[in-house]
Structure 1
Amino acid sequence: MADPRFSILSEEFAAAPDRHFGWLREHAPVHYEPAIDSWFLSRYRDVHRVLTDHEAFTTETLQVRAEPVMRGPVLAQMTGAEHTAKRKIVVRAFTGQELQEQVRTIRANAVELLEPLLAGGRMDLVNDFGKPFAVRVTLDVLGLDRRDWRQVSSWLAGVGEFVTAIELTDDRRRVCLDLARELEAYLVPVVEERRRHPGADLISALCTAGFDGITMSTRDVIALIINVLVAAVEPADRTLGLLFKHLIDHPEQLAQVRRDPALLSAAIAETLRRTPPVQLIPRLAERDAEFAGTVVPAGATVFCMIGAANRDPEAFTDPDTFDLHRPDLGTARSFTAAAQHLAFGTGLHQCVGAAFARAEIETVAALLLPLLDRVRYSPGFVYRETGLYTRGPSALSLDFTPVHAATLHATTRHTNTRHTTPGRAAPSTTPPWAPVHG
């Protein structure tokens, strides 16, 4: 039954979802929203059950939520041999030696973007740096021209809106579909050229890989490219902003990470647990299912509330507290299929980019931390988060001691030496990261 006292679609919930997580878990763990005919689960055990029972809860909702703008089926829609084969192609591009190469790409992009920002002693970490950085790095990995990042960002905004919107007007739906078609038109000649002249990039790998002895069609390749773009770009800037917010809000833990950079991975893992950038993962109930005494009917759309599940006291002690020394999280497993938190999803369709996400955020944060001396919020800055499906800071304006270019490059040489140590920034783990998991 719908609870008339509460709506996930309300402005009150949108302003601060975490304030309602405890009430939901205790009083409405199976919450129904009649306006969108969907069910929302907030308890850890229920969310974990849905994400790991692939026969009872399928990804068929993505045929409507994702396929129209992905221009074809995405990884999370696939099963069996097709899913295994195509997932391996993508995973291979984000692990091992390939990931080591990407760390150099990540660092080079970060330095280029940071150089003009650091001298003034103030920057918006999300909009001045995080967003352009995430797009440019992903374009480099795919083998696309990073000079097109602004246009690609515009197209991806439409794709992301279509996938993550809980409600979408007809007008916005048309706009999003038009943007997706423009992105497809941009990618088609690239894919055709890589078929003729493959290189060392991910698009070339997709173009030359086969499934059941048959090379993937242009439509299949483009769908996977857009899948990677959406999965890699949107959460990255949000996670970076959230990480620095938590550390600034907890100066004693910021000081500890500065003294011992080995704690940085734990800080990232705890950021993902407490404030996962992907807040909702949808599934379709294939048959009637009971949760907490409530029956969710067959054919219903079920939203797994990742943010609420990650703060369930049945799964984590004192879950609302940010604690990078948390004993019930486990940094080593937090970026693998054995992760206790659910920020990357779990089960068959756990995100394929967790190893890349770790390397990306850890590399940039390790570069920034020694540079942002006396870092604090800019005067007059008011922190605000936005989004229901994916969520993060709309901005993060920071003041710090101005940095000279020579200091930036000296720091880069230092972090380059430290992060190319085997196993540090490029763990060979099974790899989200994404609104659309694989």
Structure 2
Amino acid sequence: MPVVNPRFSILSEDFAAAPYRCFAWLREQAPVHYEPAIDSYFLSRYQDVKRVLTDHEAFSTETLQVRAEPVMRGPVLAQMTGAEHTAKRKIVVRGFTGEALQDQIRAVHANAAELMAPFLPQGRVDLVNDFGKPFAVHVTLDVLGLDKKDWQQVAAWHSGVAEFITSIALTPERRRHCLDCAEQLEAYLLPVIEQRRRHPGEDLISKLCTAEFDGIAMSNRDVTALIINVLAAATEPADKTLAFLFKHLIDHPEQMAQVRRDPDLLPAAIAETLRYTPPVQLIPRQAERDAVFAGTTVPAGATVFCMIGAANRDPDAFTAPDTFDIHRPDLGTARSFTAAAQHLAFGTGLHQCVGAAFARAEIETVAAMLLPLLDQVRYSPGFHYRETGLYTRGPASLSLDFTPVHAGCTGRG
């Protein structure tokens, strides 16, 4: 029988308010923490988390059949293995690399400029709600080749999909709402898929529609699942990472000044942001056989949650892990957006995030554009910082004041 600690719960409001202050205690005192309410185990040590994410035979993604497939409307990449996974992953990766990536960078810049323009003369913006959230959806729609005039409706449907995937427990009413969102999103996508089959373009949906696996074109269900997979994976972390980046640089003005003087430091600042405050905090797996961690047996069939935030602050993996330091030598900026990354913000192993290179290009492009525009950036008077989310986590808002930019000055950066 697993040991239950009645005085501590990851599902509590106290933990939700400030999880980072609990991570050291978890790693040292309860590295295999059991939550009886959801019959799940939480791992917080770097080596244990890495073991689970890299041993895909002992720890499968079977949990996603329940946690993701109902709202993805079909199997997602993380559920696939073998030849199917390799082939479909390559199709998606091609949509985020090479010439496609260069086109996307131009779209990122154009979307950022358009969305930020109304706030520049005012000298105030909520980087999460005014800018980050619409920006993330706009860019993802551009990648997919969907009409941006529908962005608010797509964002609402996506919100329901994301809630289903990232909630530890859903009420029957919220579950029905999330499934309704997924069904409406599927109904919206099906005519688009049919149109792209007949008249393919250069967008990612067209590439999915015209691709083959084992000589057979993917079904509408396959394509729909991959579209929603990309929509969730590309949208959910982007606004959080951007807001976290600006928060940490504002909180560390000497590092902000260094990045402003030397833009080549920006990738390091993004990499350290991903390590220090990863937007995806939990990654679930299912134990396929009994496994022992720190003397505790996790039984076959159990759900295991990898605590990315805790692993990324493990002193066995990083020196002074609770310090934000864009110059840290144990991170390795060049490899931080590849399969060789030391941090675990993109996961690792077979199912590492396919969009890591795109995420770097997206955040780097928009941050490089915003830093010169948001001169003397600081928190707005009266602003109170708060983060939300257990599975994915980010600032609820980030109200910033800066030196207003007059018309004709927005071309810098």
2:174 to 148, 152, 172: 172
Q: How does 1:400-415 map to 2 (within 5 A)?
A: 400-409=402-411, 411=412, 415=413
Residue 370 in 1 paired to residue 372 in 2?
yes
Residue 152 in 1 paired to residue 140 in 2?
no
Residue 7 in 1 paired to residue 31 in 2?
no
SS of equivalent to 2:150:
helix
Match of 1:320 in 2: 322
Aligned 8 A contact 1:282 1:302 in 2: yes
How far apart are 1:101 and its partner, in Å? 1.0
CA distance in 1, matches of 2:279, 2:200: 34
CA distance in 1, matches of 2:10, 2:336: 28
2:303 to 280, 290, 301: 301
Match of 1:422 in 2: none
CA distance in 2, matches of 1:120, 1:333: 39
Which residue identity is paired with 1:262? D
Q: C-alpha root-mean-square deviation of aligned residues, in Å?
A: 0.5
Which residue identity is paired with 1:181? E
How far apart are 1:405 and its partner, in Å? 2.8
Deviations 1:277-303 (A, max 9, x none): 000000000000000000000000000
CA distance in 1, matches of 2:152, 2:208: 24
1:17 to 13, 16, 19: 19
Match of 2:136 in 1: 134
2:39 to 37, 40, 44: 37
1:278 to 274, 277, 280: 280
CA distance in 2, matches of 1:407, 1:334: 34
Aligned 8 A contact 1:47 1:309 in 2: yes
Aligned residue pairs total 411
Residue 231 in 1 paired to residue 226 in 2?
no
Match of 1:396 in 2: 398
Match of 2:93 in 1: 91
SS of equivalent to 2:91:
helix
CA distance in 2, matches of 1:375, 1:365: 13
How far apart are 1:242 and its partner, in Å? 0.2
CA distance in 1, matches of 2:46, 2:9: 20
- Taking structure 2 as the reference length, the TM-score comes to 0.99
Which residue identity is paired with 1:121? G
SS of equivalent to 1:405:
coil
How far apart are 1:312 and its partner, in Å? 0.1
Match of 1:59 in 2: 61
Which residue identity is paired with 1:331? T
Which residue identity is paired with 2:340? A
Match of 1:431 in 2: none
Which residue identity is paired with 1:183? L
- Taking structure 1 as the reference length, the TM-score comes to 0.93
Match of 1:71 in 2: 73
Task: Mark the runs of 5 or more structure 2 residues left unpaired by the alignment.
Answer: none
Residue 101 in 1 paired to residue 69 in 2?
no
1:258 to 233, 257, 260: 260
Residue 114 in 1 paired to residue 116 in 2?
yes
CA distance in 2, matches of 1:97, 1:89: 14
Aligned 8 A contact 1:115 1:405 in 2: no
SS of equivalent to 1:407:
coil
**Residue identity (%):** 81
SS of equivalent to 1:138:
helix
CA distance in 1, matches of 2:229, 2:8: 34
Task: Mark the runs of 5 or more structure 1 residues left unpaired by the alignment.
Answer: 416-438
CA distance in 1, matches of 2:406, 2:219: 49
Match of 1:427 in 2: none
How far apart are 1:36 and its partner, in Å? 0.2
Residue 194 in 1 paired to residue 196 in 2?
yes
How far apart are 1:117 and its partner, in Å? 1.0
How far apart are 1:2 and its partner, in Å? 1.1
